[in-house]
Structure formats: structure tokens, C-alpha cells
Amino acid sequence: MPGFSSPPNPQAFNQQVWNLARQIPVGKVATYGQIAKMIPPPIGVELEAYAAFAPRWVGGAMAACPDDVPWQRVINSQGKISERAGAGKQRQLLEGEGIIFDAKDRIDLKKYGWSGKDEDIPQQPSLF
């Protein structure tokens, strides 16, 4: 299995990641791997290689995201904030959205995890 330090077209992959991250509602989180699974493997990348490398690519995309992307809502598969510069700010932002961390600094993914479906987004009452 060849190694991929980045996707074949990083700009296109990052755009897909950012578009998905923008859909995560306030008070919900998604994992790097979950976001990766929502994006089809790039042409020329076998499924096995994609499964191995794509969550890291998502992490790279989130580290380089534009200001309008709610980066704080993407966490690791353990329900934790990945250790790096900005981790304290990420926790502060998530707590500000009503997300609670347990005694082991984890987020309950069953409670706060985003399914990727529209029903996670609170519906506004119709004006008509």
C-alpha cells in the first residue's frame, strides 16, 4: 500500500472537508474519520489506503481552514480534542456551545455526535 502524506489534490479535498464542517450544527461534533468517510476516495487512491490516510488529511484540512469553518467541532475518534496548540481554545468554544466534557476530557459522541443528517439541524418555524 503506497503512502500518501496528502491527498492527490489537496485543495479539492480540503474544500470538501470544509463544506462538511460548515454543516455541523452548534452543539454537535464530528470526528476526523467520520468526515473522511463522507468524502469519496480521490481517483487513484485505493479504498484501503484512503481509509488509512484520510482522517489525517481531514486533520490537515482543519488546521488550514478559513475563518468561516467551525473547526472546533471536529475532534478525534476517542471523543477528545487532539493535543496541539489551540486545544484550550477549542474546548472553550465547544463548552460555549453547551458541550460537556467528562472527567477524562472526552465528549459523549452518542449525545453530541453529528450524524451528518439534516435532522440534527434545528428547524426554524415556517413563516408561511
Domains of the chain plus CATH, in order, are: 10-113 (1.10.10.10)
Closest alpha carbon to 81 in 96, 67, 71: 71
Report helix, strand or coil for 74: strand
Q: What mean pLDDT value characterizes the chain?
A: 90
Q: pLDDT at position 42, please?
A: 93
Residue environment code for 44-74, b if the CB has 16+ CB neighbours within 10 A, otherwise e: ebeeeebeebbbbbbbbbbeebeeebbbbbb
Reported as a single tens digit per residue, the pLDDT across 29-40 is 999 999 999 999
pLDDT in the model for residue 117: 74
Residues forming a β-bridge with 30 = 74
Residue 128 confidence (pLDDT) above 90: no
Q: Which pLDDT does position 3 carry in this prediction?
A: 63
* 62 has a pLDDT exceeding 50: yes
For the cut 90, the answer to whether the pLDDT of residue 84 exceeds it is no
pTM: predicted TM-score of the whole model, two decimal places = 0.87
pLDDT at residue 10, rounded to an integer: 95
